[in-house]
Amino acid sequence: MELQKLLSLTRKGIDTYGLINEGDHIAVGVSAGKDSLSLLYAMKFLQRFYPKKYELSAITVDLGLGNLKLEPVRKLCRELDVPYYVVDTRIGEVLFDLRKETNPCSLCAKMRKGALNEKAKEIGANKIAYAHHRDDLIETMMMSLIYEGRFHAFSPLTYLDKTKLYVIRPFLFIEEKNLISFAKKTDLPVCKNPCPMDGNTKRQYTKELLTKIYEDNPGADKCLFHAVTDADLPGWPEAVKNPRYKSK
């Protein structure tokens, strides 16, 4: 995917759900994976011409697993002129050495978000941007059905009462395969996920299940995506009535 297409789809997500206001300070959560680095890149280039001016920072929460190489990410942030902050934690030690969790994903996510939110508040950000994309949305909905027995998915805009922060997800209309393509074309400094659970999670199972569904039922991904976006789920902002962004 070319940069122009990435920016167009990112802006579609932002404008459709009103994710950015004048004067926002947005902290991009950077895991050093392809998705978050692509989001950082998109938000920086969009900043140059977006009509609502916003400040941009990047934050990485280091789990303390000892094998996350962040110098290439620091270099990218210097090149993009984006302030970069690394939060050092012992989350990995707590999960795997002290608690010896066999299913650590939920607790890990809670702890990572807590560290990220705290740092965002410290630097004066009022919004945190996550790089959850179209495929993540569908996977989350399917996981909710399979494991929780309810129809649910994350919202493109969420207000966190405790921290008074907003979470925004500008990549809602972008497919994962396009982010893979963009990261390769742009030669983004993608770091391998250091988590020992990588590839052995309920999300990975769901991803593989959906791959099979798509192979057997061409177009099922579009149906599942619109099942979520058209469902009027609780907590979702109303889509802006803009014919430019009419669903396709």
For residue 159, the domain's CATH number is 3.40.50.620
pLDDT tens for each residue of 32-42: 999 999 999 99
- Which pTM value belongs to this model? 0.91
Q: Are 23 and 188 in contact (CB under 8 A)?
A: no
Q: Total structural domains in the chain?
A: 1
**Residue 68 in domain:** yes
pLDDT tens for each residue of 26-70: 999 999 999 999 999 999 999 999 999 999 999 999 888 777 789
**Residue 247 in domain:** no
**Residue 216 in domain:** yes
Statement: residue 171 has pLDDT above 50:
yes
**Residue 131 in domain:** yes
pLDDT band of residue 101 (cuts 50, 70, 90) is: low
**Residue 94 in domain:** yes
Helix (H/G/I), strand (E/B), else coil: 57:
strand
Q: Is 170 exposed, middle or buried (0-12, 13-18, 19+ CB in 10 A)?
A: buried
Note down the domain range covering 34.
Answer: 3-237
| Contacts (Cβ under 8 Å, ≥6 apart) of 34 | 179, 180, 182, 183, 188, 190
End-to-end CA distance of the chain: 19
Q: What span, in angstroms and rounded, lies between the C-alpha atoms of 138 and 13?
A: 16
**Residue 191 in domain:** yes
